[in-house]
Structure 1
Amino acid sequence: TEGKFPELSEPHLVLTSPAGIESTTPQSTHQHSGQHHAITSGGHTSVSAGKSWLVSAKEAIRLFAYKAGMKLIAAGSDIEIKSLSQNIQLLAKLDITHTANRIELSAQNEVLVNGGGSYTRWSASGIESGTSGSWVAHAANHSMSGGKRIPVVMPQFPVVQEPAKFHIQFRALHNNTGRLVGGAPYCITLTDGQTFFGKTDAKGMTELITLATAQDAQLEWLTHHEDTLSSEEQDSEGC
């Protein structure tokens, strides 16, 4: 509703100034959000780095410019665009222009060039060309020699590991009082034989184990905690 902000429904820390807010340090500045992190400006937003600007996202990265366009420029090195497991799609309503000293197109299976319905198809089985109009070729000389081919050398694509989808974690509770027990030594054994040793933290929690596939886990309390502790498995994604 008007005049109410759900973001301020709890005792948050708010910084405000009619003239601006500045912060500086000769060392490092770190910001962390357990949930979302929003940066909004009514004018320009500038990010500058004396060395590298590193951006990582577990899911998606999207850039959108509504009016003035977008530029990606490297002054002293290469620009690499890679899709390690899916496709790269380039779409333009008008023209796509490539300019270089040398342009090389390589495909492991097939290259298809189609312009207005006239086409050329290149593959290991041969070259096929077709048009519904005229075909005009200009050359000082024409030479039709025997067959020849250049092997296609494809780069090695790295294996992209699927992110872990299953988690295993236990919480230590005292049998008599039900209170959380920290510092309790334990051993967790998985179906595939992996073992994890450790001690529960101040909240009685064991280490969070992440797995790509579902497995059963056996928890063993070590030393004198064995008779006084019970375990409670925590609900987590995929378990």
Structure 2
Amino acid sequence: MTWRDLFQRQTLKRHPTKRDAFRVLKEKGVPVKSVIDVGVLHGTPDLMWGYPDVPHLLIEPVADFASIITSRYEAAGVPHQLILAAASDTKGELTLHLKKDEAADITHARETAPADASADAGTVKVTARPLDDMLADLTLPTPHLLKIDVDGAELQVLKGAEKALESCSIVCIETGVSNLFKRSVPLVSAGFGLFDIVDLCYYDDRLAQVDLIFIRKQLIADLGIELFKDGFDDTLWQSL
């Protein structure tokens, strides 16, 4: 077989998006009994679409987003519980900087001020709690899918989620290219392996941001989904 033959046989079935990754993970039998969504903003459609029948624990510190979050999840029929707090590594109070887009809607809330002063929509003080403390008060079925998107404080969330990680089958975490390795190390150390890199974002033609999807290494072995476990099969190869 020539490389031309192989190229002509390729049909891209997979797409580097969270939605498609969650579809594949479900098809491969990776169990998820609940979703923990840290940094909800206005909702996470990919998780609502991928796991509509399991309870979603929604963690969002900005109270102004509560009504739109609740209305969207109720309209979609997704079981959910909303906690208005920031997941962090300590208890206390945080000051978040709000960012607005061109339409003047609040689009982000983070601990650092936006670089563009015109996008600064002020600050808000919020309660901060470790994720492990939040879960201690709840009975949430396991294993969890944990998604973290908090615009810069992802490491603090992971530090406050050591027990939660023990009950996770999947972790999806947003990262920039400059801190990709820093955010990967705690997950690899906790027994996870990288499954996919999705939702690639470019700035000035350079890769700037991605979402990393990890699954527990033991599940990779238990489900028999190791790469090349039966040798290399060129019919399974796909490329963009």
TM-score bucket (shorter structure) = under 0.3
TM, length-normalised to structure 2 = 0.19
TM, length-normalised to structure 1 = 0.19
* Greater C-alpha Rg: 1
Which of 1 and 2 has higher RCO (CA within 8 Å, sep 6+)?
2
Higher helix share: 2
Higher strand share: 2
